[in-house]
Amino acid sequence: MTVYNLLGFAAKLHAMEADMNLATEAIVKQACIIVANEAREVLGTYDLGWVSLKPETIAHKMRGNSPLLETGQLRASIQWNASGNEGYVGTDDPVAKYHEFGTSRIPARSFLAGSAIMMEAKIHEMAAKAVRAVLAGGGILSGEMRELLHLLHEVKHLATEAFEAVAPEDEKGRR
C-alpha cells in the first residue's frame, strides 16, 4: 500500500482527474464506434426482432428477405462523431427516419436506437474496465504520476538536508 503526504495525495488526485477525463473521451468514442458498427451489421437481418417483411416486399427485393438492406446506401451512410464527453451516431440518409420510427404503412425497424440498446451491456463493461484502470492507478498519466511523486520525495529530502546544513540550532537542538 502506498502512503502519500498531502502534496502527493493532491497530485495523485489531480492525475486521476486528468486520466478520468481522457478515459471519458475514449469511452465515448469507443461507444460510438461500437453502436455504429452494430447498426451497420443489423441491416439485412432480424437480429433486433423486427417485424418480418411482407412476402410481396421480399418478392421485389434483389437481396430477398433482407430488411433495410438493398443497395447498401443506408449502411454506408451510418456515421459517428465524438468530441469530449459527447458523441452521436446517425445517418444523413433521408429515408432513414422512416425506417427508424416507422410510418402509417411501414413498421418501425429501429436500427440506430436498437443497436445502442443491444450494445448497452458491452459499452458498460468497456467503460467499467476503463474506470477501474484509472482508479487502480493504471490510467494514462499513472507513469508520469509515479515519476512526479518520486521527484517530489527527492526534492523534500534535498531541501531538508540543505535546511539542516544552513539553519542554526537553538539551545534545545531545534532548527
Higher pLDDT, 118 or 2: 118
* pLDDT reported for residue 105: 92
Looking at the DSSP bridge assignments, the partners of residue 9 are none
Domain boundaries, the chain: 6-166
Per residue in 103-129, pLDDT (tens digit) is: 999 999 999 999 999 999 999 998 888
Per residue in 4-63, pLDDT (tens digit) is: 677 777 776 777 777 777 888 888 999 999 999 999 999 999 999 999 999 999 999 999
Cell numbers describing residue 130: 476503463
CA atoms within 13 A on the CB side of 66: 15
Residues 139, 6: Cα–Cα separation, whole Å = 21
* pLDDT reported for residue 175: 55
Per residue in 65-89, pLDDT (tens digit) is: 999 999 999 999 999 999 988 999 9
Look at the chain and count its residues: 175
Q: Which of 134, 103, 116, 101 is nearest to 21 (CA)?
A: 134
Question: Using CB atoms within 10 A of its CB, is residue 139 exposed (0-12), middle (13-18) or buried (19+)?
Answer: buried
* pLDDT reported for residue 22: 81
Instruction: Residue 74: count other Cβ atoms within 10 Å of its Cβ.
Output: 20
Question: Using CB atoms within 10 A of its CB, is residue 15 exposed (0-12), middle (13-18) or buried (19+)?
Answer: buried
Residues 62, 67: Cα–Cα separation, whole Å = 11
Percentage above 90 pLDDT, the chain: 53
Per residue in 139-162, pLDDT (tens digit) is: 555 554 455 455 555 666 666 777
pLDDT bucket at 168, cuts 50 / 70 / 90 = low
* pLDDT reported for residue 100: 96
